Amino acid sequence: MRYILSEIQKTLELLGGKRYVFFSENKFRGGIYMLEIKSIEDNIDEFLSYFVELFDYKKYGTLSAKYQFIFLHEKKEYEFYVSVSSGSVEYKKGTIDNPDITIRTPLKVWYDISMGKLSGTIGYLTRRYTIKGKFSLLTGLT
């Protein structure tokens, strides 16, 4: 067992210290496989990339707006922004000057809204997240 743990430690060092889950595919095939555990920031980054991919350029091509997101997870804040201008959309980690709307939300609440598990309106009315700025910028962007 000590040898296996030592080999796992060496493998993790080679992989740049990223976190992985080790699991056996099944007891018949054998073998140990790894699945990377992404950081919260990586998950948010991936999530926002979907927003950019789903953005309806035909419908909102003339929209110009700056969205500031403050995602909350395990008592930590993660700041990202989305900028929409002249038919292009970009997102980045950090803050943006003079956002048109700031959304402060637990990460799970925003995931649930995005996946249709929670109505954005109900979430807002029950104070699961807060908005500062132009509320109208949240409707139907994808």
Q: In this structure, what DSSP letter does residue 136 have?
A: G
- β-bridge partners, 85: 88
Q: List % helix, strand, coil for the chain (3-state, nearest 5).
A: 35, 35, 30
Mean pLDDT, residues 99-116 taken together = 90
pLDDT at 123: 93
Amino acid present at 4: I
- Range scoring the smallest mean pLDDT among 1-10, 29-38, 72-81, 84-93: 1-10
State the pLDDT at residue 34.
52
pLDDT surpassing 50 at residue 25: no
Which band of pLDDT confidence, cut at 50, 70 and 90, is reported for residue 116? confident
Kindly report the number of other CB atoms within 10 A of residue 24's CB atom: 10
pLDDT per residue as tens digits for the range 36-90: 557 788 888 888 887 778 777 777 778 889 999 999 988 899 999 999 887 788 8
Relative to beta strand 130-133, strand 101-106 is: antiparallel
Q: What is the rounded distance in angstroms from the CA atom of residue 125 to the CA atom of residue 102?
A: 16
For the segment 113-131, the average pLDDT, to the nearest whole number, is 91
Q: Which helix (H) or strand (E) holds 115?
A: none
pLDDT score of 117 more than 70: yes
Average pLDDT, the chain: 77
pTM: 0.70
CA-to-CA dists, residue 104 to 1, 20, 42, 133, 137, angstroms = 46, 30, 18, 11, 15
CA distance 68 to 33: 38
